[in-house]
A = this chain, B = another copy of it.
Amino acid sequence: MKDQPMRAEKIVRSEDPPNLEMPFSTLDGFITPTESFYVRTHFPVPNIDRSKWRLRLEGEVENAFEITYEELIALESRTIPVTLECAGNNRIFLEPKVKGVQWELGAVGNAEWTGVPLSLLLERAGVKANALEVILEGADAGPLAESKGPQGDVRFARSIPLSKACSDVLLVHRMNGEELHPEHGFPLRAIVPGWYAMASVKWLQRIVVTDTPYNGYYQTLDYAYWAETDGLAKLTSLSSMQVKAEIAYPPTGAVLKTATRIRIFGAAWGADVAKVEVNVDGAEWKLARLIDEAKPNAWRRWELDWTTPAQPGRHVLTARATDKDGRGQPTEHDPNRGTYMISRILPIEVEVA
């Protein structure tokens, strides 16, 4: 990590377009400061003039309409903490190495998001009875490197089921109490709580209600995995996050003093986290203390005291989370998940010297 270029508080995974990672060892409070929050982009950041910007809602609705930025922020907003994680977080741990941004531990963050419920705008438009999905379209677009993708400029867009769109999805104009920064989707982004962050479309400009599955590039050839039913593998769009704990301290490669009490510290998310356990060198799993109270779709920090051995040596720390339904983390990455949904238990190697 020390050889990576940095921008502000973040590791630069790519500059053009910007893909910036939080060094996960800098995890501190429940809320990730905006300047530390990871940035994932597919195309150059759109430069949007808010006075000319409009959000259009159309498709299988009674009354398609456009709304201005001033009209939108005047609507009743809610503020909630939501953890966003890139579906490719932890990709650097995959063996053999794969294509895609080489995220380590920090393509994840927890912010307070302020926005208008999508359900409110859908109600205003009057969704028709045949509606099935809601497509969220960003202003970001460009040509794809992928030869099997659509030709010409492709616009980033994702769909969500109508039921999800009508529940807890927010159209967000503020992050951590401030107007959205351009890299985080100014003037408006979606927040789809509980889903990997590719669904929380930035630079929103159009919402299309459809009566057929959308099957766009970013939910078929990208951001999809193979799920098996009836003995047949089906290409399935990524949606809900998988439960996961990550260790922030000590970081990989840390050199610790012998016979010293340290605090193993991290966060867990991806579901309603019920417990986090920590393991040293494959010995018994020890229950960590959950620091944050449970809130829907927000991470919980956790900690556990550990006294380092009296003898110098190398040690492997692991953490695992379990959700309220008893689901835990796998020990191996399922290759049918491709380069996404990497929720296997990760080793953190430290040296006691």
Q: Is the CB of B135 within 8 A of A232?
A: yes
| Min CB–CB distance A139 → chain B (angstroms) | 13
Tell me the nearest residue of chain B to A222, going by C-beta. Answer: B148
> Interface size bucket, A side?
20 to 34
Q: Is the CB of A232 within 8 A of B220?
A: no
Q: Report how far A218 CA is from B210 CA in the complex, Å.
A: 24
Q: Is the CB of B215 within 8 A of A151?
A: no
Tell me the nearest residue of chain B to A214, going by C-beta. Answer: B234
Q: Is the CB of B221 within 8 A of A235?
A: yes
Q: Report how far A336 CA is from B235 CA in the complex, Å.
A: 20
Q: Is A233 positioned at the interface, with any CB of B under 8 Å from its CB?
A: yes
Q: Is A315 positioned at the interface, with any CB of B under 8 Å from its CB?
A: no
Q: Is A226 positioned at the interface, with any CB of B under 8 Å from its CB?
A: yes
Q: Is A335 positioned at the interface, with any CB of B under 8 Å from its CB?
A: yes
Tell me the nearest residue of chain B to A220, going by C-beta. Answer: B235
Q: Within residues 298 to 353 of chain A, which ones have a CB less than 8 A from any CB in chain B?
A: 335-336, 338
Contact of A230 (CB < 8 Å), options: B208, B228, B336: B208
Q: Report how far A150 CA is from B338 CA in the complex, Å.
A: 9
Give the number of times this chain occurs in the complex, counting copies.
Answer: 2
Q: Is A59 positioned at the interface, with any CB of B under 8 Å from its CB?
A: yes
Q: In the assembled complex, which residues on chain B have CB atoms less than 8 Å from the CB atom of A214? A: 232, 234
Q: Report how far A226 CA is from B215 CA in the complex, Å.
A: 10
Q: Within residues 208 to 227 of chain A, which ones have a CB less than 8 A from any CB in chain B?
A: 208, 210, 213-217, 220-221, 226
Question: Which one of A208, A235, A236 has the greatest number of beta carbons of chain B within 10 Å?
Answer: A235
Q: Is A246 positioned at the interface, with any CB of B under 8 Å from its CB?
A: no
Q: Is the CB of B150 within 8 A of A230?
A: no
Question: Which one of A155, A221, A233, A338 has the greatest number of beta carbons of chain B within 10 Å?
Answer: A233
Q: Is the CB of A216 within 8 A of B232?
A: yes
Q: Is A21 positioned at the interface, with any CB of B under 8 Å from its CB?
A: no
Q: Within residues 106 to 141 of chain A, which ones have a CB less than 8 A from any CB in chain B?
A: 135, 137
Q: Is the CB of B232 within 8 A of A338?
A: no
Contact of A226 (CB < 8 Å), options: B59, B135, B150, B226: B150
Q: Is A247 positioned at the interface, with any CB of B under 8 Å from its CB?
A: no
Q: In the assembled complex, which residues on chain B have CB atoms less than 8 Å from the CB atom of A226? A: 149-151, 217
Q: Is the CB of B215 within 8 A of A234?
A: yes
**Known A151-B336, A221-B221: A235·B216 in contact at CB below 8 Å:** yes
User: Digit string of A248-279 for contact with B (CB within 8 Å is 1, else 0)?
Assistant: 00000000000000000000000000000000
| 12 other A-B residue contacts (CB within 8 Å) besides A151-B336, A215-B215, A215-B236 | A58-B230, A137-B232, A149-B226, A150-B228, A151-B226, A154-B233, A157-B232, A215-B234, A215-B235, A216-B232, A216-B235, A220-B220
Give 6 nearest A-B pairs by CB, closest first. Answer: A150-B233, A150-B226, A220-B235, A215-B235, A151-B335, A215-B234
Jot down 21 A-B pairs with beta carbons below 8 A, ordered by A.
Answer: A135-B230, A135-B232, A148-B221, A148-B338, A150-B226, A150-B228, A155-B231, A155-B232, A157-B232, A208-B230, A208-B232, A210-B230, A213-B213, A214-B232, A215-B215, A215-B236, A216-B232, A216-B233, A216-B234, A217-B226, A220-B235
